[in-house]
């Protein structure tokens, strides 16, 4: 019934000491997948076609379009949005094109001494891609730590796709939680980051699971799919 990839992911969750709640949410998502695959493909194709009008070197986001559309429309008519990690603007473009927003804030370092050429390309692509939405978003070029240090705003949806190192991911989730409105949603990308088939250390899942345990009375897990986990803040 399930693919080999499913069992690798279950094994990954067990090794990362994910809660039974997480595991059951993931299994539920996989059980529904055959009945929703055509919708997922349509949403992915629609956004992918939109990206053809933009300057993008990669597309890691379109595969998430169905989930974002479904969960956002169920929870918000209008919302404020923050993302940690913007790359070339793919996820922010999806938000601005498809939803009514109060504010959209994009945070990224866009600098890396080891990848200066790539980061410069990413930043230039980001600015060019977002041009049609000028006046509808702002961006912060710097670390997420520095952004949160001076941030006074709160948000309804926060997307975390910045650093993938354990310590920084944990800080990003904690800081995001403090800036999240009650009934707001945090989306953590790359929950299954690393090697599914062997040893994976210093990965987001470790930090995410730690956070889930510490804040279990303040949140609700609303979705776990092959790539992301969605958390709703239920208590102030």
Q: CATH number of the domain at 121, please.
A: 3.40.50.150
Largest CA distance in the chain: 50
pLDDT for res 236: 58
Q: Report pLDDT digits (tens) over 68-84.
A: 999 999 999 999 999 99
pLDDT for res 116: 87
pLDDT for res 199: 78
pLDDT for res 22: 98
pLDDT for res 111: 87
pLDDT for res 43: 98
Q: Report pLDDT digits (tens) over 166-208.
A: 999 999 999 999 999 999 999 999 999 998 877 788 999 999 9
Count: domains in the chain: 1
Domain that holds residue 126: 4-233
pLDDT for res 229: 98
C-alpha 84/C-alpha 94 separation (Å) is 15
Tell me, letter by letter, the H, E, C secondary structure of 20-67. HHHHHHHHHHHHHHHHHHHHHHHHHHHHHHHHCCCCCCCCCCHHHHHH
pLDDT for res 114: 78
pLDDT for res 198: 76
Residues of the chain with pLDDT under 70: 1, 236
pLDDT for res 64: 98
Q: Is the separation of the CB atoms in 138 and 61 below 8 Å?
A: no
């Amino acid at each position: 019934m399930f693919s080999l990839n499913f069992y690798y992911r279950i094994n990954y969750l067990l090794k990362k000491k994910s809660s039974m709640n997480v595991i059951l949410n993931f299994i539920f998502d996989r059980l529904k997948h055959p009945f929703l695959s055509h919708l997922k493909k349509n949403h992915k194709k629609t956004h992918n076609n939109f990206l053809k009008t933009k300057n993008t070197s990669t597309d890691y986001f379109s595969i998430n379009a169905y989930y974002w559309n479904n969960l956002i429309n169920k929870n918000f008519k209008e919302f404020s949005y923050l993302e940690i990690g913007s790359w070339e603007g793919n996820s922010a473009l999806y938000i601005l094109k498809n939803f009514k927003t109060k504010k959209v804030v994009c945070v990224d370092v866009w600098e890396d001494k080891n990848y200066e050429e790539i980061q410069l390309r990413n930043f230039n692509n980001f600015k060019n891609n977002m041009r049609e939405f000028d006046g509808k978003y702002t961006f912060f070029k710097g670390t997420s730590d520095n952004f949160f240090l001076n941030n006074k705003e709160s948000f309804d949806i926060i997307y975390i796709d910045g650093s993938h190192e354990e310590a920084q991911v944990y800080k990003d989730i904690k800081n995001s939680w403090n800036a999240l409105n009650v009934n707001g949603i945090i989306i953590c990308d790359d929950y299954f980051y690393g090697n599914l088939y062997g040893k994976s250390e210093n990965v987001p899942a470790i930090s995410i699971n730690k956070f889930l345990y510490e804040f279990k009375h303040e949140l609700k897990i609303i979705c776990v799919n092959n790539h992301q986990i969605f958390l709703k803040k239920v208590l102030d």
